[in-house]
Structure 1
């Protein structure tokens, strides 16, 4: 079942009753002139087990510790936003897999050659997916991209990821002079930042569910980054976000500011269609297959990560 993504941008009361998330609006609850029957009708409930991601984007949202406990018990990712409405914090459960200790040990003891091979597979798939985006969105000839993908060595020692990225971003947004990808860059970097934050939460949530530590990456290493492995595994998924951003831009909306309309579209990332293992699947489900295959690679049961691709 596809888990729901809930986004709260207005003052809200969140509580728990009978394993249901109860949603109330303060302006309704505090208004003594409204009849109780009206207040009851304006209360919404959602089964906790149906929720995968909750995004909190207002400083006047109140939720009980029971809500937080129930969400974490059901492997829900809780995202908090800063004053600019950009995702800032991520809360995940500490344990969601019955063989977590065994998998932690295998992950920690993974050899350098294995990590390099996994990174090679990751970058190859990322570049191939970037090539698909350029082909479908910009009608570009992508033989160079496919050659770079094919030439990626163990550990990407030649940094073909970087070479491909320069060409990719310049070609994907040809109407923006010298476009470069960066957190503080010009739009549509704002859309990409928001979309990648959602994607990162999806991947981190799935890594925990697969009994892995999101902190210990196969390539990314940063003492200040608690989600190095999530940043690794999300790489081949980024082009799916990129294509959605291009579609949003092509719709004619003003993308200079991250409007509510744009956020709503980006919150559909968990249910984007991807191809994986020869079948069409929602992105969130596909991520689960990817992280499960990664765990098997650490355990010596597989030699290749299962990644998505475009149809």
Structure 2
């Protein structure tokens, strides 16, 4: 079952009652003229077991320790946002698998040749999906990208990922006159802000799935920044990034080629990332479900049961 993504952009009191998230509005709680039974009627409850991602985007949100514990016990990712309403923090459970220590051991013992082969598979899948999205969005076949995909070697020593990315970002938004010479960068001009927001949601979904599969999201197969707590999540999300890119392209196209501001409506569209339809193993699936298949197959590669990661195909 696909889990729900809940976004809170206004002041709220969030607590736990009998396995339910209880959502209260501060203005209602502070109104002493309202009787208790009316206040109860204005409460909203959500089963904690149905929640996969929670986004907290207001400085006047109060969340109880009991609710945080229950959310983490149910493998929910909790995202906090900064003053610009951009995701800035991610909280995940420390333990979410019954054989976690065994899986940690298999992951940590993975040889360098294996990690290079897994990175090769990851980059091939990423370039293949980028090429498909570029073709779908612009109408032009990216045959050169498909050639680069075929040429990716173990560990990608020729950095074909970078070559493909340069071509991809140069062309994907080229049809929009308002977006001139787009350069992808975390702190770059729009629509980088939309991409950053979507990627943050995707990263949380992937990190959550990795923890659920009993792996350390810190220990990557390629990324290894000492200050990055989610190196493996950043590795595994690579082939899924083009789905976010296509979503952002659609938002710009709907806005007559102009980059929309990050309004509540736009955030709602970006928060739909976990429910985007993908094809994995020849079957259609919500992205969040597909990610769990990917992380499960990754562990089997670490344990020697499989030789290939299961990635989606655009």
TM range (shorter): over 0.9
Q: CA deviation at 1:274?
A: 0.1
Q: CA deviation at 1:35?
A: 4.1
CA contact (8 A) 2:251 2:260 kept: no
Provide the residue aligned with 2:308 in structure 1.
Answer: 304
Alignment of 1:234-273 (within 5 A): 234-252=237-255, 255-273=259-277
Structure 2: distance between partners of 1:161 and 1:225: 20
Structure 2: distance between partners of 1:255 and 1:68: 35
CA contact (8 A) 2:122 2:236 kept: yes
Matched, 1:218 2:197: no
Alignment of 1:49-68 (within 5 A): 49-68=49-68
Structure 2: distance between partners of 1:40 and 1:16: 14
Between 153-162 and 27-36, report the one with greater CA deviation.
27-36
Number of paired residues?
Answer: 310
Give CA deviations for 1:145-183 in whole Å, capped at 9, x if unaligned.
111111100001110000000110111010322211001
Structure 2: distance between partners of 1:37 and 1:17: 16
CA contact (8 A) 2:13 2:61 kept: yes
Provide the residue aligned with 1:162 in structure 2.
Answer: 162
Instruction: Please give the TM-score of this superposition, normalised by the length of structure 1.
Output: 0.98
Q: CA deviation at 1:260?
A: 1.2
Structure 1: distance between partners of 2:141 and 2:101: 47
Alignment of 1:3-14 (within 5 A): 3-14=3-14
Structure 1: distance between partners of 2:157 and 2:270: 34
Give CA deviations for 1:46-105 in whole Å, capped at 9, x if unaligned.
110000000000111111110000000000000000111110111000111111111101
Structure 2: distance between partners of 1:177 and 1:4: 37
Give CA deviations for 1:11-45 in whole Å, capped at 9, x if unaligned.
10011111000000011111123344432221011
In the alignment, which of 258, 271, 276 is matched to residue 280 of structure 2? 276
Provide the residue aligned with 2:194 in structure 1.
Answer: 191
Give CA deviations for 1:197-231 in whole Å, capped at 9, x if unaligned.
00000000000000000000000010000000000
Aligned-residue CA RMSD (Å): 1.0
3-state SS in 1 of match to 2:131? helix
